Chains A and B, each alone.
Chain A
Amino acid sequence: MPADEADLIRRARENDPAAVDQLVRRYQKKVYGIAYRICGFDPEEARDNAQEALFQVFRNLGQFEGRARFSTWLYRTAVNTCLDAQRRRKRWFRMLMPARSAKRDEADPEDPLDNIPAPEDDMDPVSNLSGAELKRDVLHALRRLSENQRTVFQLKVFQELSIPEIAEVTGMAEGTVKSHLFRATQSVREQLRDWVER
């Protein structure tokens, strides 16, 4: 851990608002990135979840013992907060709209109208459409994975964590992480076959 970071953490633990602010700014993009991928590429929800995750991180800073790296501990809290938020959301959705939820579960995953992200203004239409299609297909491929496979795959591919780091973040054994990672990669490769052949 860099010396200045250790100092910032110590000060944040002593309720120094400036230290908290500096740490939040240092990690907020990474936490936002994690939230964005866990929340199914929804920027609005990702911002809310990232804020909640950061709040939980600094609220529970007293529990950080310094045995792991701060970033690992932060990722762990962020991943758990976002997964909890997703589970809560799904539960509410199922409770409030059971019929719609059942229909959605039965829906064809290849449905082209499902979950196409909003176009981004600064892109040309062709690349915009292609980017939207890619996002949609990647999202479908990720949704087909189990929660553990998806989390492990996202931490590896997007956050570029090593297998031991993922094991530390998720609390799984390294062998389990490896197994989830292989299965997830094979499944994604199968789902996105068309994109590879292009």
Chain B
Amino acid sequence: MQAACRNQNETLMLDVLEELHDPNVRRMWEDHLRACDGCRRERDRMRQLLGKVREAGMPPELPVARADTMAAAVGWRLRHERLARPEKAGRRIRLFPALAAGCAFMLMIAVGYRWQERLFGPAGGGDISAELQPQDLEIIKHFDLLKDMDTIEKLIHIVDIPDDGQGPDQAVPETQGTHGDSPARTHA
């Protein structure tokens, strides 16, 4: 049995798919078909095949009741969608400026931070000692000594309990020189 001509494959396909519109090509193809048994047979087979495929892909009849239900469902969904749409659109309109404002705010913060760094130097990186009073600096410098003095003061307070049984709270430590004229000090 003669096979179809390979060089006529595209024309054969176009013919069976009903896409062979060029009259010159069609005429030449029909002339060829008259002479070529293989191509003629192949064209018939292809037509038969596409017929079978169409037959297989034929959907079952859509029952009237189902068609009615489908049409009603589409209409119902559209009506509900349209009823809900203005609210959604409103939400969308409000959402957009809110997002824009948020973005602008974030941008302002970022730009402000950058400018603040440029104008005043990096945050937290400045020299604190420059801002302190010399008096405060002196306290910090001698902080350990002050702590020791405080301990000594407490010791004196404990040791210096009066003999008459009065509590230490009534005795004023000597280090508190500012209270030198108080009656408690005179007693001690």
Q: Which residues of A contact B (CB under 8 A)?
A: 15, 17, 20-21, 24-25, 28-29, 32-33, 36-37, 41, 43, 46-47, 50-51, 54-55, 58-59, 120, 131, 134-135, 137-139, 141, 154, 156-158, 162-163, 178, 181-182, 185-186, 188-189, 192, 195-196
With beta carbons under 8 angstroms apart, the residue of B46, B48, B62, B71 that contacts A24 is B71
Bound Cα distance from A186 to B19, whole angstroms: 16
Tell whether, in the assembled complex, residue A54 and residue B48 are in contact, meaning their CB atoms are under 8 Å apart.
no
List 28 A-B residue pairs with CB atoms under 8 Å apart, sorted by A's residue number: A20-B74, A20-B78, A21-B71, A24-B75, A28-B70, A28-B71, A29-B67, A32-B59, A37-B59, A47-B70, A51-B73, A55-B73, A58-B78, A59-B78, A131-B56, A134-B52, A137-B56, A141-B53, A154-B57, A157-B50, A157-B53, A185-B16, A185-B46, A185-B50, A188-B53, A189-B49, A192-B49, A196-B49
* Total A-B contacts with CB atoms under 8 angstroms apart: 102
**Is B184 interfacial (CB 8 A cutoff)?**
no
With beta carbons under 8 angstroms apart, the residue of B10, B48, B59, B77 that contacts A33 is B59
* Most chain A CB within a 10 A radius of its CB, from B10, B60, B74, B79: B74
**Is B54 interfacial (CB 8 A cutoff)?**
yes
Q: Which residues of B contact A (CB under 8 A)?
A: 10, 13, 16-17, 19, 45-46, 48-50, 52-57, 59-60, 62, 66-67, 70-71, 73-75, 77-79, 81-82
Query: Distance (Å) between the CB of A53 and the closest chain B CB?
Result: 10
**Given A55-B77, A192-B49 in contact, is the A158-B17 Cβ separation under 8 Å?**
no
